[in-house]
Amino acid sequence: VLGYLNLGILSKESLKANGETILLELAPRDPRSLLQGDYMALNYRLHNELRGKKELRSHRGQIVIKKDDNGVATLNRIYNGKDLAENERLLRFNFSGRRPEVATHSFFFQEGKAKAFEAARYGIFKLDSDGNLMLVDLADENREPISPKAYNEEQPTTNAQ
């Protein structure tokens, strides 16, 4: 059991270090449920696009996402086995009831840092070659990672890259 746990940890660390960075645009949520304690409830524009595709309900598989010049991924098509273009990537999805799942619905942060994450407009993910995602951070409207350490009461600040 311990060996299996260590393998899982190593796999996630490898994905974080070597995965391709992509951004998913966050979809609007009810502001009253956005920040709940020490985590942010997340919804993605991509989930809303998938929700509209009734043929995918009660299904799991892969979709093709397209990365723009800023690394923001959008739904391009349902994967049908055809070769991918240079800016296309595979992404796994699953419908849980009527709710599509491609990424986590929660982002946890340090207690007392909620205000900094109100500026979040994108999720920053690492993507592996099998189409699996791992959320690593949130980004502001300029696609810059949010830095709660540098946050002051007037306005959230971001890391410059």
pLDDT digits (tens, 9 = 90+) for 74-99: 999 989 899 999 999 999 988 877 77
Q: Is the per-residue pLDDT at 26 higher than 90?
A: yes
Rounded Cα distance, 93 and 42, in Å? 16
* Short-list 54, 129, 53, CA closest to 91: 129
In the prediction, which pLDDT does 157 show? 45
Cβ atoms of 116 and 148 within 8 Å: the answer is yes
Angle formed at CA 62 by CA 1 and CA 140, multiple of 5 degrees: 85
pLDDT of residue 13: 76
pTM recorded for the entire structure: 0.80
**In which band, very low, low, confident or very high, does the pLDDT at 4 lie, cut at 50, 70 and 90?**
low
Q: Which residue has the tokens 């709940």?
A: 36
What pLDDT was estimated at residue 114? 80
The count of other CB atoms within 10 Å of the CB of residue 66 is 15
- Rounded Cα distance between 50 and 40, Å, is 22
